[in-house]
Amino acid sequence: MKRLLFLTILSLSLTVKAQTVPPLKITHLTGNFYVYTTWRTLDAGPYPANSMYLVAPSGIVMFDTPWDTTQFQPFMDSLEQRYHKKVLFSISTHFHADRTAGIDFLKSKGVRTYSSKMTYDLCKEHHEKQAQYYFTKDTTFTVDGYTIEAYYPGPGHTKDNIVVWMSKDKVLYGACFVKSTDTKDLGYTDDADVKAWPASIKNVMNHCPNPAYVIPGHEGWDNNKSLQHTLFLLKESSKE
């Protein structure tokens, strides 16, 4: 009986250990751009979500928020310790929680939060966190000489998804609109418009030519061919 109890406790301990969410990870991309990754535990275990930030002289700009609620304060603390700068504002790229979960936290810290009007409305409809401000058309933010363009290419992963394009630095933040070349399928598509997605991808290719870096919402970004890979996955999906 004691041995059975010990084995049961050991098994539970190993299961909990296996499901432990990894800590926040920050990776330098290029220049003053960084990718940060947080995790949430799904049915298959911990799953990563990539977001980005820019360190400008006057402060930090975030593209999307941490997914893991336990990482909100540690992330802000890490930025403060690394750069001794405040976050100026954030831009959320669509209404899902892996892009919006930290909006209210950022608001509480005095950070301006932005999204498109479509995302703002969908957040309300789906009971997700809403940005403080919204824009109704493609919008360019300028910070200390950096040009940050929020571009809506059309429906794809969601009907409201936008990408963020830094043309001077050739950095394209695709978020969940773009699938990593590490990915073998389209992932979660309950809110997707799979038929419109290919045309929307081509719109990004035309509007954001020759990106040196393409950052997907999940998994790796070492290969900058994620736009082409997403098109391939969509073509394969249409055959099923």
Q: Would you list the domain boundaries of the chain?
A: 23-239
What is the structure's pLDDT at 166? Answer: 98
What is the structure's pLDDT at 16? Answer: 39
Q: How many helices (H) and strands (E) does the chain have?
A: 7, 12
What is the structure's pLDDT at 238? Answer: 86
Question: Which residues of the chain, if any, have pLDDT below 70?
Answer: 1-19, 240
12/3 Cα distance (integer angstroms): 14
CA distances from 9 to 1, 20, 21 (A): 12, 16, 20
What is the structure's pLDDT at 44? Answer: 77
Q: What's phi and psi for 212, nearest 5 deg?
A: -80, -30
What is the structure's pLDDT at 29? Answer: 98
Q: Which amino acid is at 49?
A: A
Task: Assess if CATH 1.10.1740.10 describes domain 23-239.
Answer: no
pTM: 0.90
Q: What's phi and psi for 25, nearest 5 deg?
A: -125, 130
